[in-house]
């Protein structure tokens, strides 16, 4: 980002560098609102049910429904971008922290599943 591109915070209008020295100047926030395509969603749920539901049914519905259109649309006119100051970004950073914790927990769970699977393979050998 060039210096001349730095503008006041989009949320509070304050300067990005106001307040105490902090490691981050601010946050570039991009929000993409998602819109449900009802017809495509119903088609997908129908396929999922047809294939027995659950992760397996969902997986088969994903494959069999290829080309039928997405259940979720991402309209470009529903994309918003803003740069907000560090103070205004506290809630957003909290959300990112929560997402990161969840991903790490899922990764740990996956690694534990791998260890269990590997132990079962060793026991069978
Ligand atoms: Zn602000």
Looking at residue 17, its pLDDT comes to: 60
Looking at residue 51, its pLDDT comes to: 92
CA distance 84 to 86: 7
Residues 23 and 39 in one domain: no
Residues 84 and 108 in one domain: no
Residue 97 Cα to ligand 1 midpoint, Å, equals 19
Domain extent, residue 27, equals: 1-31+79-88
pTM for this one? Answer: 0.56
Looking at residue 112, its pLDDT comes to: 92
Residue 99 Cα to ligand 1 midpoint, Å, equals 22
Q: Give the mean pLDDT per block of 10 residues along the chain (125 residues).
A: 80 71 74 91 90 90 80 88 88 92 94 90 83
| Number of domains observed in the structure of the chain | 3
Residue 86 Cα to ligand 1 midpoint, Å, equals 7
Query: Nearest CA to 49 among 39, 60, 38, 40?
Result: 60
């Amino acid at each position: 980002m060039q210096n001349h591109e730095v503008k006041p915070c989009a949320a509070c209008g304050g300067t990005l560098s106001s307040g105490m020295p902090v490691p981050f100047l601010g946050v570039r926030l991009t929000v993409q609102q998602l819109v449900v395509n009802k017809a495509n969603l119903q088609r997908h749920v129908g396929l999922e049910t047809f294939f027995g539901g659950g992760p397996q049914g969902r997986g088969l519905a994903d494959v069999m429904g290829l080309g039928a259109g997405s259940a979720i649309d991402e309209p470009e006119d529903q994309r918003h971008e803003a740069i907000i100051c560090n103070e205004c970004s506290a809630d957003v950073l909290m959300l990112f922290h929560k997402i990161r914790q969840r991903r790490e927990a899922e990764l740990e769970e996956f690694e534990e599943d791998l260890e269990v699977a590997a132990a079962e393979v060793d026991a069978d050998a």
